[in-house]
Amino acid sequence: MTALLTSQITLWIVVVALSLVCLALTRQLGVLHERIAPMGALGLNRRLAGGSQAPVLSVQTLTGATITVGASGGASESSKCQLIFFLSPTCPVCKRLLPVLRSIQQRELAWLSIVLASDGGEIASHRTFVQQHDLEEFPYVLSETLGVSYGISRLPFAVLLDEQGIVTALGLVNSREQLESLFEAKRLNKPTIQDFLLEK
């Protein structure tokens, strides 16, 4: 009888100890979740800020067409936002994000126009890059002035503009999550997800 009573007491002590350990682990998971909250596009830009008017530039694409960056370009684009994605043919991260851009283009075609922009190198290398990665569906702009006007210092960088050319979100994008965080930042009316998280 004494052995049975001892084993029951020991069992309850173990159960209580395990409950306390589980409670402590649950608390630590919550703390860890806060520390590794989803990281959106990094807003590293000293020239543009959320809510500011983007520079309006008329630029020529590789195909010879002239488009307006920073404002709606013509009647067919008048109701669309503009995503300007700054990239380089030599940037491996940029290449990884190209399928994501194609997916976004197909999914958000009704309200979004995507412009690819680069600032240097030979035109022939950019044309080869466009062909190799099937980018013919995007306007591809080669303009150093555009990169300087928008304050782009690192790649890949994306700027999301509303229909009036106002910067709604921007940042350095190294992953699908960071690129798509621009749309979430627009929905939250914040320039970056970091700004939203800092307010919490």
Residue 124 has phi, psi (to 5 degrees) of -60, -40
User: Tens of pLDDT along 180-192?
Assistant: 889 988 888 876 6
Q: CA-to-CA distance for 122 and 133, rounded, in angstroms?
A: 17
Q: CA-to-CA distance for 19 and 34, rounded, in angstroms?
A: 23
Q: What is the DSSP code string of 45-89?
A: -SS--TTSBPPPEEEEBTTS-EEEESS--SGGGTT-EEEEEE--T
Look at residue 160 and give its three-state secondary structure.
Answer: strand
Given this model, what pLDDT does residue 73 score? 46
Q: What is the 3-state secondary structure (H, E, C) of 167-187?
A: EEEEEECCCHHHHHHHHHHHH
User: Tens of pLDDT along 21-73?
Assistant: 988 888 887 666 455 444 555 556 667 788 889 999 999 999 999 999 987 54
Contact 150, 167 (CB under 8 A): no
Q: CA-to-CA distance for 117 and 84, rounded, in angstroms?
A: 7
Q: Would you tell me which CATH number, out of the four given (3.40.1190.20, 2.60.210.10, 3.40.30.10, 1.10.8.80), belongs to the domain 57-199?
A: 3.40.30.10
Q: Taking all residues of the chain, what is their mean pLDDT, rounded to a whole number?
A: 84
Higher local confidence (pLDDT), 10 or 75 = 10
Contact 139, 60 (CB under 8 A): no
Q: CA-to-CA distance for 61 and 140, rounded, in angstroms?
A: 5
Model pTM score: 0.74
Categorise residue 71: left if φ over 0, alpha if ψ from -120 to 50, beta otherwise.
beta
Given this model, what pLDDT does residue 76 score? 43
User: Which range, of 112-121, 153-162, 180-189, 191-200, averages the lowest pLDDT?
Assistant: 191-200
Domain edges within the chain: 1-36, 57-199
* Average pLDDT of the segment spanning 159-176: 90
